[in-house]
A = this chain, B = another copy of it.
Amino acid sequence: MLDTEHLTESDVRRIVREEIERAFRADPSRNTATIIASKGTLDWAYPPFILATTAAAIGMRTSIFFTFYGLNLIRKDFEKRILVAPTGNPAMPMPVPMPDVLTGMPGMKAIATGMMKSMFRKKNVATLRELIDSAFDLNVNLVACQMTMEVFGYKPEDFLDGVQFGGAAAFLSEARRSHVTLFI
Residues from chain B with Cβ under 8 Å of A152 in the complex: 93
Q: Which residues in window 55-73 of A have CB below 8 A to B?
A: 55, 57-58, 60, 67-69, 72
Whether A123 is near chain B, meaning CB under 8 Å from some CB there, is yes
Complex contact B182–A179 (CB within 8 A): no
In-complex Cβ contact of A180 among B20, B51, B108, B181 (8 A): B181
A69 to B3, CA, bound (A): 60
Q: Which residues in window 145-184 of A have CB below 8 A to B?
A: 147, 150-152, 167-169, 171-173, 175-184
Complex contact B180–A182 (CB within 8 A): no
Complex contact A12–B10 (CB within 8 A): no
How many copies altogether? 3
In-complex Cβ contact of A101 among B7, B10, B105 (8 A): B105
Other than the known A47-B68, A125-B151, A182-B182, what 19 A-B pairs have Cβ atoms closer than 8 Å? A1-B9, A7-B8, A7-B12, A9-B15, A19-B20, A36-B182, A40-B91, A43-B69, A69-B89, A83-B91, A84-B90, A88-B88, A99-B106, A99-B107, A100-B105, A172-B180, A176-B180, A177-B179, A178-B180
